[in-house]
Structure 1
Amino acid sequence: MASTINEIIKESLEKLREEHLTLTPDNYTKVFCQVAKNRGVVMEDCQKVEKFLARLDTDFQQEAKRHKVANVDELLSFFTAKLNRLNPTESARLIQSLVLMSKRVLQAMSLLPNRRARTLASASLERLDVTQNHQSVELIKDKWFDFINEYDDSFMKKLDGFGPINKDDLESMVNDIYKLLRKENDDSAVYKTLAPLIIATLTPSIASSMNDDLATISYELRNSPEVLGSVAIQNDIRQFIKKRIELDKKEIQEKISALDKLLDDINTKILHLIDSSEHSTREVRGIKKDLEGINFSKDTFESIQAKLILIASSLESETSTLHQKMVTNQQTIHKLHTRVKGLEHALAEAKQEAKQDYLTHVATKRALQTEIDRVEEAYIRYKIDYCICFLDLDHFKNINDTFGHEAGDVILSTVGKILRKYSRQVDFVGRYGGEEFLIILPGIGLEQAVIFADKVRKVIENFKFIYKKERIAVTTSCGISERKAHRTKEEVIEAADKMLYQAKEAGRNQVKPSPQ
């Protein structure tokens, strides 16, 4: 036995050196007991902790094992901690804190979007408020154990089909679902894609009278694709298609009628040619009969030669006559065709002149009224605001009296070019009368319209109007009004005219309202 003890001591010292442990009583005792246990030697000193633990209550034994109490010092520390925790005052405080914490947890759980959890949390709070004893706590604990044991969250898997959703946090889950639903219901991208396609499908049309209606719908779709979702624009498109089909049918019928008339005219001319060549036909038949009547065996060479020359002369005469008549008729047809082309060109120019001022090349007053009706309809239906800008050249009568009307025409024409250059593509510029112009500015507010008008005023003021090597100073006054500030379109125009009057009364060469 002594030799075994010596071997255990020797092995323990070697193990301390291998593990680089300091040779202290605690380290030595721990290693010694471990080596002895490995060798199967039971040492009474190594069984002290187990003997002491065996005398304790079962709960204390299990708690000591959980804390891995391995030696006497650790056992004393364990007992000291237990004695400190058994302080009645401290225990009461701890229990009170735990109850309060439980209430706060239950209050938080009562806010969760789970009906069974809310009901159980409310019932638990009521029991804790009324009775706080071991039986109540055990009952509450069992109820919550049943809830956890029976809780089934398989319904959450239904969300997987919608896309990536964070199911670890309720707020994140709701936000993810909201984003997915919002993305699914966001039709703006679809409208932006469909709008050009719808415009393209509406564009081909035989009836040119539909171009103005098409321009109105195209403008609305390009600037506000989302209006495709409104019933009003859908009805407009349906009415446009229905009207275009009717007008296209009418246009085709008119063109077919014109073709029928032309074919009848050609048929009449062909019949006339046939009738006019009836005599030639009889002559040709006579010539053929003469050829058949030539007897080459009996007639002399001189008589045959004379008959052939006569037939050739007759053929040449008849052919020449027919050709001359056909040339004459062809010339008549060409003259008629040229005249029709001239009339079509004159009609196109007349239509253009009805819409465009001949001098300034901006819209006429009649075209202005049509455009005002169009933007007013867009305002009423879709609340697309617009502004009216009246622009009048200052002291224009003096310019005409001083430099002549030809100089005045040059200035008006140049001002028209300036207005066309500095206005947007969607703006509509027209000559309202004399030296007065009107600009329709859709889709902008009063402040932006005033900035535009003041910019044009400065350009005209600084522009070098030169007539016969002499510079003419030209200024302009402007009046602006905004549609949404008035009840009717007539009031908008009247308000812009009043602003123009105020600009002239204030000294001219300015914009009213004044820019900020």
Structure 2
Amino acid sequence: MNKSTKEIMKITLDTVKEKELPLLAGCDNIFQTNLQYFVENLSEIIMPSIDFNNDDKINSFIEMISKNPVDLLKKDSIDQLITITKNRVNADRQVLKNKTDDIIKLSTLMEKYFDKTILESSNASEKIENIKNELQELNISNSSQRELGQLQSKLIDTIYSIENSMQDNRIILGESKQKFNSLNEKIDNLQKELAIVKKEKSIDFLTSLLNRRAYEEEVKKIEKKHEIFNSKYAIVFYDIDHFKQINDTYGHSFGDTVLKTFGSILKSLTRKEDTVARYGGEEFIALINYEEEKELYKYIKRVKTLIDSTKFKYRDISINIEFSAGVSFRYKYESYLETKKKADTLLYQAKKEGRDRVIFDNNYII
């Protein structure tokens, strides 16, 4: 019950108690009680159940009766009450009819697509038979028999129509199935070939790390993340120390083994959300996400510890190697290029100062 109705009922009760009941003093007490009870519940009796467009007329009538409840017994009031009730019932029926008409419109649209949807199922015949039986056995209440019964009949007709066209459709599908399977197999093979080509295009053949082209694509992604979310990341530039001497002394095959093993170690210590790539020759580069700078120190220490403790082997040759690196934090610079340039500068500073060290752009050295 809304606020206005409650206020009207309060006026009604007060009027009945304070003004009208004395006028009915000569009436039977039971009659007075019944009249009072009827007035108290009048709004609930004539309140619409679906359509509320007659609210104003209903509230006006209740307001009128509240001023003089005895008027409720007059013929004009009773006629007005009957009219309000009929209007309310008719309005509710119209809403129900409109909704049912909408459902019938929807079923007409369903008919256009019903056939295709069911035929795509592997057990189409069984589904159609089940739907038809369920529709035929569907019990519709008497109150909805006239409107919803039309919908039931229309759906049943649709199912029969689909059944009649199933055989022709099944023949067409049977003839097309083999062609479809063959085409689908070709598409699968082509997708696999494209995936291999794409992978080969982005992976360095020797180290199985990202190549420089693929690395540049990852830079675009991490830069976009940095731009939007102000995320933190650092650039680590690696270079294997004395690599030319290794090649000259032990041969290029051994040099390839060193590069492959070095790349494998970096890959094993780099998380999935980070990026590591072979930048060129004996240079490697990594993009490392972090929350606190000490995470970078721990990461570099793990790399250095594992490289220092690993024997790089090829046939009967086994040696230890060292590396130098420069680390720059992205937030300190205006762009990625400036950040990378700083990491590169720090790398060559490390090599110039004796190699076998990592220099950060905050002067921290490992």
TM bucket (normalised to shorter chain) is 0.3 to 0.5
TM-score (norm 1): 0.34
Bigger radius of gyration among the two: 1
TM-score (norm 2): 0.47
Question: RCO higher in 1 or 2 (8 Å CA, sep ≥ 6)?
Answer: 2
